[in-house]
Amino acid sequence: MAHLELTADDVARLLVAEGATGWTVVTMGAICAAESGHNAYAVNVNHAFGKAWHRSLDVGLFQINTYWNPVQKIAELLDPQWNTTIALKILADAGGPPTGYMRWNAYKNGMYRPFLPECRDAANRIGVKV
């Protein structure tokens, strides 16, 4: 399986390049770490038992779901920059921080929390004020 692992600093730079600031860089970085392990080529298959119609993939850094985002092409979502663009669009469309973070299971279940210190340090290293 293909693997393209980015660092926390790389992800922070991608987020900043797409307009994220402050704690959004930290929180989205931690969500990314929990969702994909910073692997831009991460793909997970979803299927709901008893619901054959609900088959989908979670793709890329932010594990963008193809069921909820059907217009996004899988090949494009494997691009780290585009995946970050779509993640921040999903965040904004869901009301922005903090409400929009609920679009990611890693946020809802708290799995992002252990990655907050690493992502805060990465944000600080690249000059983001938090």
pLDDT in tens, 62-108: 999 998 888 889 999 999 999 999 999 999 999 999 999 999 999 99
Please check the confidence at residue 57 and state whether its pLDDT lies above 60.
yes
User: What is the pTM (predicted TM-score) of this model?
Assistant: 0.92
- For residue 24, CA distances in Å to 12, 45, 81, 113, 116 come to 10, 27, 16, 14, 11
| Distance spanning both ends of the chain, measured CA to CA | 36
Rg (alpha carbons) of the chain, rounded to whole number: 14
Please check the confidence at residue 32 and state whether its pLDDT lies above 60.
yes
Q: How far apart are CA 66 and CA 123, in angstroms?
A: 29
pLDDT band per the 50, 70, 90 thresholds, residue 2: low
DSSP 39: B
Q: How far apart are CA 31 and CA 49, in angstroms?
A: 26
**Which residues contact residue 75 at a Cβ distance below 8 angstroms, ignoring those fewer than 6 apart?**
none
Q: What is the pLDDT of residues 116-130, one digit of tens each?
A: 999 999 999 999 999
CB atoms within 10 A of CB 85: 17
**Class of the domain covering 8-125:** mainly alpha
Q: How far apart are CA 87 and CA 121, in angstroms?
A: 21
Q: What is the pLDDT of residues 10-31, one digit of tens each?
A: 999 999 999 999 999 999 999 9
